[in-house]
Amino acid sequence: MTLNQNTFTGEYSYALDAKGRVNIPAKFRNVLTADNDQSFVITRGMDPCVWVYPIIVWQSIEDELRKLSSLSQVNRSFVRSTVRYASSVQYDKQGRIAVSSNLIQYADLGKEVLILGMVNKIEIWNPDILDSVDKQSQKIDSSQFDELANQIIL
Amino acid sequence: MTLNQNTFTGEYSYALDAKGRVNIPAKFRNVLTADNDQSFVITRGMDPCVWVYPIIVWQSIEDELRKLSSLSQVNRSFVRSTVRYASSVQYDKQGRIAVSSNLIQYADLGKEVLILGMVNKIEIWNPDILDSVDKQSQKIDSSQFDELANQIIL
DNA sequence: ATATATTGTGGGTAGTTGTGGGTAATAATC
DNA sequence: GATTATTACCCACAACTACCCACAATATAT
């Protein structure tokens, strides 16, 4: 398969078990480069969902944060809010990662979860919440998409 | 796991015991390089919290301080306030460090504390104070905050 | 169509981690 | 020098996590 490395697309339905574990879809694991050491960084998403980055991708974020001096108040609160809920996880022999109860609560995850590929990261959603967020964002008026047109070619 | 060395992320709830000891989260201890000799430098944070640096990281800060000319009044008082409350601690067999009563007072720590990874250092907070500081700073600098987010968050 | 490999899900077990308390060594005070 | 306070070091235990195995469902190959 010649898909881009560390790049994820598609939607998958999976189970979050009693121990707080979810499977990472095999298709996602197979495009993970070896230097990730089968590991991700899992954190709060900007939407009410969980974000999962390949560790290599996350490290580039960390490197940027490291450059910010803690003398500045804004810098401090930005670093804090960015890394506060982030932690690294390695998937087990069965391909599952553990989701902390903190994140399960934040994204209001139940037994059934939706896993979305989002190009450079993965999102884990409660299906109902994704639905309502989706409907809401359809109301966003098309002028905002016009703005995006300047930045990306589809 | 291939996380960056001497780099900390995530939020953890821990207990400060009657003897003034707190556990350093295992995840943090495990990314500490051996040359730190299981030791940190603990000092006052710029926010009302306690800062905990790996000794190796702290040494590089000292190197920077050394470069600041003492001709400037601002420099002098900055160096003074930075170094004044700093002291080194080694964690015990159970992974705990002792927090001096001076610092406990400064950060107003009770039995329950929050430990935050802040990339190159660790913060120890009273949860209530973190809450209010967090809310306040989000009001004040939201525009600068967004700017940083646009540059750094992937 | 059948056999083989891969993938998703559940659960058990051994080791690790967090927390409290105890005892000995050291320092401080009278 | 004796007494008290403080600190460093050790042990115990409950809770949790990482790791392993089992098995059913799905996909792939023969």
DSSP A153: -
Q: Which residue has the higher pLDDT, A143 or B36?
A: B36
What sign for the dihedral angle of Cα B132, B137, B142, B146? negative
Alpha carbon of B61: minimum distance to chain A alpha carbons (Å): 11
Residue A95 · residue A21 · CB < 8 Å: no
Q: What is the pLDDT of residue B1?
A: 52
Reference A21, options A106, A124, A116; nearest CA is A124
Beta strands in chain B (DSSP E): 11-15, 21-23, 39-44, 50-54, 87-90, 96-98, 112-117, 122-125
Selected from 3.55.50.30, 3.40.50.2300, 3.40.1550.20, 3.30.70.2740, the CATH number assigned to the domain covering A11-126 reads: 3.40.1550.20
Order of strands across the sheet with B50-54?
B11-15, B112-117, B122-125, B50-54, B39-44, B87-90
Q: What is the pLDDT of residues A13-56, one digit of tens each?
A: 999 999 999 999 999 999 999 999 999 999 999 999 999 999 99
The reply to whether A90 has its C-beta less than 7 Å from any atom of strand D is: yes
Vertex B90 angle, CA B87 and B95, to 5°: 135
Give me the CA A29–C1' C1 separation in Å, rounded: 31
Q: Percent of chain A at pLDDT above 70?
A: 97
Q: Per the structure block, which two tokens stand in for B93?
A: 């067999």
- In whole angstroms, give the CA distance from residue B56 to residue B133: 29
Least confident of A89-93, A110-114, B68-72, B144-148: B68-72
Least confident of A124-133, B16-25, B121-130, B144-153: B144-153
- Measure CA to C1' and name the residue nearest D10: B93
- pLDDT for A141 beyond 70: no
B93-102 CB burial, b ≥16 within 10 A, e <16: eeebbebeee
- Measure CA to C1' and name the residue nearest C17: B26
Positions on chain D within 7 A of a protein C-beta = 7-12, 17-22
Alpha carbon of A74: minimum distance to chain B alpha carbons (Å): 7
Confidence of residue A93 (pLDDT cuts 50, 70, 90): very high
Q: What is the pLDDT of residues B87-121, one digit of tens each?
A: 999 999 999 999 999 999 999 999 999 999 999 99
Least confident of A65-69, A144-148, B101-105: A144-148
Tell me the β-bridge partners of A121: A118
Tell me the β-bridge partners of A125: A114
Q: Percent of chain B at pLDDT above 70?
A: 99
Indicate the residue of B7, B46, B141 with minimum beta-carbon distance to A62.
B7
In this structure, which long-range contacts are made by residues A126-134, counting pairs with CB atoms below 8 Å and at least 24 apart in sequence?
Answer: A126/A48, A126/A49, A127/A13, A129/A48, A129/A49, A130/A49, A133/A47, A133/A48
Vertex A86 angle, CA A84 and A92, to 5°: 155
Footprint of strand C on the protein (CB under 7 A): A 12, 14-15, 17-19, 22-23, 25-26, 30, 94-96; B 12-15, 17-19, 22-23, 25-26, 30, 94-96, 111
The reply to whether B92 has its C-beta less than 7 Å from any atom of strand D is: yes
B147 to chain A, any CB pair closer than 8 A? The answer is no
Confidence of residue A1 (pLDDT cuts 50, 70, 90): very low
DSSP B4: P
Vertex B28 angle, CA B27 and B30, to 5°: 65
Q: What is the pLDDT of residue A34?
A: 92
- pLDDT for B3 beyond 80: no
- In whole angstroms, give the CA distance from residue B120 to residue A83: 11
Q: CA-CA-CA-CA torsion for A143, A146, A148, A150, nearest 10 degrees? A: -140
Residue B3 · residue B31 · CB < 8 Å: yes
Could you tell me which CATH class the domain B11-125 is placed in?
A: alpha beta
Is B1 in contact with A88 (Cβ distance < 8 A)? yes
- pLDDT for A135 beyond 80: yes
Chain B contact set for A80 (CB, 8 A)? 116, 118, 123, 134
